[in-house]
Amino acid sequence: MDLRRAPRTVIDPKVRHVGFFAPPDRSQSVPLPQSSDSPPLSDLSPSGNSLSPVMIPPPRTISAGLPPNRLLSPLHRFSGDSVIPVGSYNPSEFASPSVADFFEDNNARSPGPRRSRGGGGSGKFASSLPAGGFELPPEVKPKSLTTVSVVSNLQPNVTAKVGEQSSESQDVNSKQPLKEKTSKAERRALQEAQRAAKAAAKGESSFVYLFDSMIFGFFLSVLRNIEGSPSIVILSIHFTVVATVKTGKANNVQKKDNSSSIAASSEKRAGDHKDKDRKKDVPHPRMQFDDTTRVEKAKKRAVVKQTEVRNRVELFRHLPQYEHGTKLPHLETNFFSLNSVHPAVYKVGLRYLTGDISGGNARCIAMLQAFQESIMDYSTPPGKALDRDLPAKINSYISFLIECRPLSVSMGNAIKFVKTLIASLPLTLSESEVKATLSSEINHFINEKIILADKVIVRHAVTKVRDGDVLLTYGSSSAVEMILLHSHELGKRFRVVIVDSRPKLEGRLLLRRLVGKGISCTYVNINAISYIMHEVTRVFLGASSVLANGTVYSRVGTACVAMVANACGVPVIVCCEAYKFHERVQLDSICCNELGDADAISKVHGREEIDHLKDIADNENLQLLNLTYDVTPSDYVSMIITDYGMIPPTSVPVIVREFRREQISSG
Amino acid sequence: MDFQVVVLAGGTSNKLVPLVSKDVPKSLLPVANRPVLAYVLDLLEQSNIKDLIVVVEGEDTDGLVENWISEAYVDRLHVQVASVGEEVGTAGALRAIAHHLTASDILVVSGDLVCDISPGAVAAAHRRHDAAVTALFCASPISGPPESGSSGGKDKTKKPVRHNIVGVDITQQFLLYIAAGMEVEKDIKVQKSILRAVGKMEIHADLMDAHLYAFKRSVLQQVLNQKQTFKSLKLDVLPYLVKSQLRSEILLNGAQAEENGNEKDSYNTDQVMLSQLLANASTPSFHEVYASGPNGFSPAERKTHKCCIYIANKTKYCARLNSVQAYSDINRDVIGDASHLSGYSFSAHNNVIHPSAVLGSKTTVGPQCMLGEGSQMGDKCSVKRSVIGRHCRIGSNVKVVNSVIMNHVTIGDGCSIQGSIISSNVQLQERAVLRDCQVGAGFVVPASSEYKGESLARK
């Protein structure tokens, strides 16, 4: 528990070394003179030029010699005045607003240098952007103009939750479009600063600040050492993961050697207390499937027999990939032995496994309904307490579902909701009351967060559909489908381009339904995207999740569509319910993704004559990669339509924060 | 898992005369020295099904089966035995015990099934599709080595009867058409609506109905109540459900209504949206496509139910004891190819000889043979690919090939038995020669007699 441990916590062996990785210089990372200072609030530049600890600061900023602590100050707002959500603590949440600011800032103020970096230093983003080396035309201004006009439209529909923001944008509305965004960023920064000030006044902000500054200091040092190496982005990601796990330790360490800082002894105690809570609530680090011992352990626990695929792509070894053929028969044979799994949950799991249900909303609803059913059938075993036994039961269901298919972000959020719900039940309720409450609350969640949210999204989005529009969508998103159908019902005349891709060809079902309703459609494969994009006026996309830095995590191929649209100056509108938002920050689609069945891409169903890979499937030189999701950077997203209104991708952290708080107050 | 299991043990089958009798009902016929019902019960026990209902046809046999189960499966299974009148058929048997059925799905297993296919697989497929009925089909077993003589002729007439014409969709998940053996003679009539809805249909003639069905309880009870004339599950209920799958007359007020119920009381548009959202996200089967009409919507909702099929892997063993030929085939397989079913551990010579069995000098027991407890054999005997039951007394110079000999059989010196089935308590006097014969219980075969392809029973 001294200085020497500080760097260890950071470069813990759990850091995954993906790509080539230069070990950080410890001596540089340890001393953090800035961190001991109390944050000079006046130091905050109104421009809000803040950087996230997990982002790569643009070289331009570094050369300007900004003191790093200044960059960190917005973090105070979170550590201080926001109630820390139980069970969802994650440093990335704290870091996120500044990330967003970074993006926004770059968008608004200096699109030029950023773009050029995107082109020149393509190595950095190579992993996150499928076309990192894509040269964007310098005249991107019209595009950003479109974006802004979209944003300025949002005030009539914004709900009270983002009231602050909407009033802000109203003010801004009269100003010139390009300037508007800058001033908005400024305003936000100012707001952050005020919050930070408040937090500092309360004096509760010490440890998170210290921790983050340490991480950041370390990160900077790493950066200095290996700047320009292509692995930085990945490294930073894993950084976040490690940070999540190690918060407790890091806090202790920091507190001891920074006795001169704001952390007074009394606070320390409070901090310790919080620490304890945290340790409990810190989410388990994502299972890394290249860690053999852990995989072995997990295998022993597993209900579903999983055979691992032999030829895996090296870069994706940390993700689970199993032979898809072996799971189902095993699960079927054990149908009657799986007594611990409720039939409804079993059915849902089976349907996940076979791909009968897909799509974030549907999977989430199906899971919640299965839980509801299992709760209704639940009876507390003698000698056990409901509030202990039921969560254990639910946990076993969840692990069963995960074995069938990895959870989506939407499901993760819903599970969090169910768990806080159970945890917050008053002990005085009888069993039947508990069941009734849980059931109605789950119904409430489904109705409010999914169904109503979709309705609100549709109402917002319909205003963006005009007569004569050509709308493009990719894959099959339930929200987008509703938007299209509703616009059609309103009598708007528009055409739809459905872009689809192998192997799932989900767009076909959407196509069938839309054509059935009498909407004029064009169906193309994603190969034709660059051709078709020229005639498109709007792109509507669905999302599996929207992350705190505005990144859109969605069906693989979405990034490509968004990027082409961006290059052609077509606004990209992402429709995503707010319950799918996540406080995680992700810059590439490597660290966290799902691997689908590799056979699906090597075989074409019903076309045996072109099955050229059949006999070499086991060849060790052949590695098949079927990614399920990809990540669209917020640069390519003009607007996100959510149930809280139409927001720029930079405002996602606000929603994430508000959403969490609301959940806590209601749960 | 909310499944109830019903084993239809049957009574005394006419097809198995003279092997069965009042004392030995079909379900207690020994296969490799264990009653055939034991194979089903063991299979269910392996799948962790501990609670089941055994339905026996006929009042007299009821007690026998009950005694045997209570002896063999005490502390292992919770079995309820119900007896129904004779000649009520499988549907009638279920009708009789309908009030005992409470779970949402019912697994109906025929008591004469000898297989190693997990019933869980059928149940899982049933659950997954939320089907009205799921049937297990397996590749028809290759009929035993064609024996020369009259029994070969008998096989020819029987073969087509055992075969079904089965139509499935290309994913081999849904049952689209079924015709049992008798109807095969006529032209096959496939419903246009089904063919139009599904697009492609595979017709199989090489599949055998294993008589293992998973029914949705509400559907089953409704069909049984509405169609009082239905006697057989296989010949009446299953074809009816398959034929009517696209114009379902069943009010699906059971489990399926829970899902569709939302639409019915459509006072809440949210609920409609919810169910639509779920429906859109799942890959629709042709039923759903059909139900929603040609253009994705229909003026009146068409009611459908799903009939699913689970086609077992070809490597699995599956056979039904429903004929004399099948009886000897199964006996041969259980101690031969499918020896894992028998539950015995085979010796180095690939045969099972009970330690208490006594073998005379120069007597050879070949591979794939079984010799039961307390049996005695004289000198210079030879046993090949045969099952010999308990407490048999076999004299010298006896040849037993490809045969089944049940318990307490006495065989005199110099007998030759080939391809025959000899029931319990039969007495074979010296130098009797039997070929492809079935001998009923207690029959006495006179000395030096020769029989070929005959069915011998006590008058």
Which chain B residues are Cβ-neighbours of A517 within 8 angstroms? 296-297
Which chain B residues are Cβ-neighbours of A509 within 8 angstroms? 280, 283-284
Report pLDDT for B318: 86
CA distance A581 to chain B (A): 20
B385 touches chain A (CB under 8 A): no
In the predicted structure, residue B213 carries a pLDDT above the cut 60: yes
Q: Which residue has the higher pLDDT, A323 or A329?
A: A329
Report pLDDT for B335: 84
**B52 pairs with which residues across the strands?**
B5, B79
- A46: which 2 tokens? 């109104």
Stretch among A30-44, B91-105, B297-311 having the lowest mean pLDDT = A30-44
Cβ-defined contact of A365 to B278 (cutoff 8 Å): yes
Instruction: Give residue B362's identity as a one-letter amino acid code.
Output: K
Q: Which residue has the higher pLDDT, B233 or A274?
A: B233
pLDDT band at B270 (very low <50, low <70, confident <90, very high): low
Stretch among A11-15, A93-97, A559-563 having the lowest mean pLDDT = A93-97
In the predicted structure, residue B363 carries a pLDDT above the cut 70: yes
Rounded to the nearest integer, the mean pLDDT of chain B is 80
Give the residue-averaged pLDDT of B21-34.
84
Which chain A residues are Cβ-neighbours of B43 within 8 angstroms? none
Which chain A residues are Cβ-neighbours of B274 within 8 angstroms? 365, 446-447, 450-451
Report pLDDT for A75: 39
For A446, the closest of B274, B280, B283 (CB atoms) is B274
Cβ-defined contact of B295 to A335 (cutoff 8 Å): no
Q: Which residue, chain included where needed, has tokens 């489990």?
A: B255
B282 touches chain A (CB under 8 A): yes
B434 touches chain A (CB under 8 A): no
How many other β-carbons are positioned within 10 Å of the β-carbon of residue B13? 18
Cβ-defined contact of B281 to A512 (cutoff 8 Å): no
Which chain B residues are Cβ-neighbours of A451 within 8 angstroms? 270, 273-274, 277
How far apart are alpha carbons A84 and A64 in whole angstroms? 34
Report pLDDT for B82: 86
Report pLDDT for A456: 93
pLDDT band at A398 (very low <50, low <70, confident <90, very high): very high
Report pLDDT for B336: 81
pLDDT (tens digit, 9 = 90+) per residue, A223-234?
444 444 433 333
In the predicted structure, residue A240 carries a pLDDT above the cut 50: no
Which chain B residues are Cβ-neighbours of A516 within 8 angstroms? 295-297
A601 touches chain B (CB under 8 A): no
CA distance A496 to chain B (A): 17
A365 touches chain B (CB under 8 A): yes
- A165: which 2 tokens? 């923001």
**A362: nearest CA in chain B?**
B278
Q: Which residue has the higher pLDDT, A119 or A309?
A: A309
Cβ-defined contact of A517 to B297 (cutoff 8 Å): yes
Which chain B residues are Cβ-neighbours of A481 within 8 angstroms? 280
Report pLDDT for A41: 42
In the predicted structure, residue B372 carries a pLDDT above the cut 50: yes
pLDDT band at B22 (very low <50, low <70, confident <90, very high): confident
**Burial group, residue A256, by CB count within 10 angstroms (0-12, 13-18, 19+):** middle
A363 touches chain B (CB under 8 A): yes
- Give the residue among B338, B320, B144, B305 at the shortest CA–CA distance from B237: B305
Stretch among A167-176, A335-344, B389-398 having the lowest mean pLDDT = A167-176
B103 touches chain A (CB under 8 A): no
Which chain B residues are Cβ-neighbours of A336 within 8 angstroms? 1, 3, 47-49, 119-120, 123
Q: Which 3 state secondary structure label does DSSP give A89?
A: coil
Report pLDDT for A631: 93
Give the residue-averaged pLDDT of A242-259.
41
pLDDT band at B15 (very low <50, low <70, confident <90, very high): confident
In the predicted structure, residue B388 carries a pLDDT above the cut 60: yes
Give the residue-averaged pLDDT of B246-269.
50
Instruction: Give residue A508's identity as a one-letter amino acid code.
Output: R
A347 touches chain B (CB under 8 A): yes
In the predicted structure, residue B196 carries a pLDDT above the cut 60: yes
Cβ-defined contact of B124 to A335 (cutoff 8 Å): yes
The pTM for the full model equals 0.68
In the predicted structure, residue A3 carries a pLDDT above the cut 60: no
B125 touches chain A (CB under 8 A): yes
pLDDT band at B21 (very low <50, low <70, confident <90, very high): confident
- A189: which 2 tokens? 């920064």
Report pLDDT for B185: 64
- A295: which 2 tokens? 């995989």
On the CB side of A390, CA atoms within 13 Å amount to 24
Cβ-defined contact of A347 to B296 (cutoff 8 Å): no
Give the residue-averaged pLDDT of A242-269.
42
Q: Which 3 state secondary structure label does DSSP give A557?
A: coil
How far apart are alpha carbons A125 and A633 in whole angstroms? 10
On the CB side of A529, CA atoms within 13 Å amount to 23
Percent of chain A at pLDDT above 90?
Answer: 21
Stretch among A323-332, B322-331, B381-390 having the lowest mean pLDDT = A323-332
Cβ-defined contact of B127 to A350 (cutoff 8 Å): yes
B2 touches chain A (CB under 8 A): yes
How far apart are alpha carbons A368 and A439 in whole angstroms? 10
How far apart are alpha carbons A588 and A627 in whole angstroms? 13
Report pLDDT for A149: 32
On the CB side of B228, CA atoms within 13 Å amount to 0
Residue A105 CA: distances (Å) to CA of A62, A75, A177: 15, 17, 15
In the predicted structure, residue A641 carries a pLDDT above the cut 90: yes
In the predicted structure, residue A169 carries a pLDDT above the cut 60: no
Beta-strand relationship, A572-575 and A639-642? parallel
Q: Which residue has the higher pLDDT, B163 or B256?
A: B163
Cβ-defined contact of B273 to A359 (cutoff 8 Å): no
How far apart are alpha carbons A634 and A628 in whole angstroms? 19
- A230: which 2 tokens? 């292509």
- Give the residue among A534, A568, A540 at the shortest CA–CA distance from A463: A540
B274 touches chain A (CB under 8 A): yes
Residue A39 has phi, psi (to 5 degrees) of -70, 120
pLDDT (tens digit, 9 = 90+) per residue, A345-370?
988 888 888 888 888 888 999 999 99
In the predicted structure, residue A584 carries a pLDDT above the cut 70: yes
The predicted complex's ipTM stands at 0.78
**B370 pairs with which residues across the strands?**
B352, B387
Cβ-defined contact of A339 to B283 (cutoff 8 Å): no
Contacts of B321 (CB under 8 A, 6+ apart): B16, B26, B29, B31, B36, B112, B113, B114, B327, B330
Report pLDDT for A633: 93
Cβ-defined contact of A333 to B295 (cutoff 8 Å): no
**Residue A504 contacts residue A528 (beta carbons within 8 Å):** no
Cβ-defined contact of B296 to A357 (cutoff 8 Å): no
- Which residue of A335, A339, A488, A605 is the best one to mutate when testing the B interface, meaning the one whose CB has the most B CBs within 10 A? A335
Cβ-defined contact of A346 to B1 (cutoff 8 Å): yes
In the predicted structure, residue A42 carries a pLDDT above the cut 60: no
How far apart are alpha carbons A196 and A183 in whole angstroms? 19
pLDDT band at A295 (very low <50, low <70, confident <90, very high): confident
How far apart are alpha carbons B31 and B37 in whole angstroms? 9
Report pLDDT for A89: 39
pLDDT band at A185 (very low <50, low <70, confident <90, very high): low
How far apart are alpha carbons A441 and B158 in whole angstroms? 62
pLDDT (tens digit, 9 = 90+) per residue, B70-99?
888 888 888 888 888 877 888 888 888 888
For B281, the closest of A354, A362, A446 (CB atoms) is A362
Report pLDDT for A165: 43
B297 touches chain A (CB under 8 A): yes
For B277, the closest of A337, A355, A362 (CB atoms) is A362
B295 touches chain A (CB under 8 A): yes
pLDDT (tens digit, 9 = 90+) per residue, B287-296?
776 766 555 4
Rounded to the nearest integer, the mean pLDDT of chain A is 67
Q: Which residue has the higher pLDDT, A76 or A593?
A: A593
**A512: nearest CA in chain B?**
B296
In the predicted structure, residue B448 carries a pLDDT above the cut 50: yes
In the predicted structure, residue A379 carries a pLDDT above the cut 60: yes
**A339: nearest CA in chain B?**
B1
Percent of chain B at pLDDT above 90?
Answer: 7
For B295, the closest of A335, A356, A516 (CB atoms) is A516
In the predicted structure, residue B159 carries a pLDDT above the cut 90: no
**B123: nearest CA in chain A?**
A335
Give the residue-averaged pLDDT of B389-404.
90
On the CB side of A173, CA atoms within 13 Å amount to 14
On the CB side of A379, CA atoms within 13 Å amount to 1
CA distance A500 to chain B (A): 16
Cβ-defined contact of A517 to B274 (cutoff 8 Å): no
In the predicted structure, residue A601 carries a pLDDT above the cut 50: yes
Stretch among A77-81, A490-494, B141-145, B365-369 having the lowest mean pLDDT = A77-81
Report pLDDT for A197: 62
